[in-house]
Structure 1
Amino acid sequence: MLSVETYQTITEAAGALGDRSRYIAGGTLVMRAVTYGDQSFDRIVRVRQTDRNIGNDAAGLRIGAGATMSDILASGDAEVLHPVARLVGGPALRNMATIGGNLFAPNPYGDITVALLALDAQVVMANGQSLPVESFLSGRDQLRGLVAAVTVPRIEPGSFLFSKVSRVKPKGVSVMSIAVSSRRGDPRVVFGNMGPLPTRARAAERALAQGSDANAIAAACAVCTEGLAPVDDALASSWYRREVAPVHLRRLLQNGGRV
């Protein structure tokens, strides 16, 4: 029998988690698992009030793990993530889906996580530990604890680009997603749904570090799938993803996000 336990704070909820429990915030992942009869858990843990605060501080942008995509879209402080949040599902889903939950979303979901990796964000755990998103993702399946917040370093206007490739617009799931950021000459190129986790295209990053002209863009696109591991699924084949990835990256870089 499935039980639901409610706690006052996220710290208490984190301490209550066990091998057969799941934490629920927005519910887009957990309730789907319940609906489809997932037998890997029999306890749901929740807190009475999640942290949905969004604001700037000395470290940059801080977003409480309970902030929904709609919260992000309503926040002027989180404008950098608006192009991503508005492409997550429809209005009903955006009212439920949280940034903390998105960090655990499997393919073909997790568009916000792709953006956070490109933006060099930090994941703040309930115990106070702070991890780079890249490190968090690499150990996500063995993680013990709960996410309390995400922090995003300041970035200059126009230095972040995002594109979602979908067969159903405007709210279909991603065939792939691409996020590109450049901070102080340190470009990041991240692909979603081109491997088991959002993945940096490091060869493309090295090419873009040489400049932003047409030659650098062409060089980045030519090598952008190196190190990626797209799979065949119901949305697209691995071959198709590899073929179209350079096309979509070129459009994103040349058009400044207007794809």
Structure 2
Amino acid sequence: MRLAVSTLALPAADAAALLPRLPALGVEGLELAAPGLDAAGADRWRRRAGAAGLTIVGLHDGAGAAGGDPLAGTAARRRALTRLTRLSALCRDIGGKTLIFRWPVHAGAPLLAGAESWRRCRAFLEELLAAIEAHGTLLCLAPAGPGGPSAHDCYLLANALDHPAFGLHLSAAGLAAGGEMGHATFAALRGRLDHVHVDEPGGAEAGSGGRVDHADLRRHLAAISYGHWLTLVQRPPAGGNATAALERGLRFVAGRYLPVDRR
């Protein structure tokens, strides 16, 4: 497995100066947080990452409800298609591969609770995937726990869509929230999992929440021979030392997930 970090975790004041220090902490890749990102900003990150010896992994769109629900009417659907197609092109232009989309969490029934919601979700994704297929990117939904798509939903969608531009992604916080940190989840994704976020509920520092069993997650990933990117996603602490928090988070992930499995 290879370690990446989200720009969400970087202290805004000195992010550029910090990038060259990341390889010494085991970091090989950089994933860009999409909200507020334009072409010029993405290109600046690309150049900074290249100068620091880091690979651009992709984008993650954590806008959630702020980004609009693609199923909330014709206008919302069109806006979502336009925005995600733009982000996919942006991901391609800076050399990224995965575009992680966090579907807005529904307060009522789960997103794919019935045949009609399943049909509408599938139709939206089919239109979006046709638009981004030529980009060479992978759209992945982010399982977010109750009210959003589950890891099992994403697996079923991948089988139904059977499209080369639809990938599969897991997040530690989403698995814990949805009660999906079990053997069946990972066994189904063996050889098909494209990306993993190592995170905590609420964007807390990695390893600090006590609600995610990271040792168990690492065992599951090793059992399915997962060898792709692990991205640390956390938010800088309010009023705290953001650089120190980032370094602690990276050391936690490197120490917990990256040792060679000699079983």
* TM-score after normalising by structure 2: 0.27
More helix per residue:
2
Larger Rg: 1
Q: Name which structure has the greater RCO, CA cutoff 8 Å, separation 6+.
A: 2
More strand per residue:
1
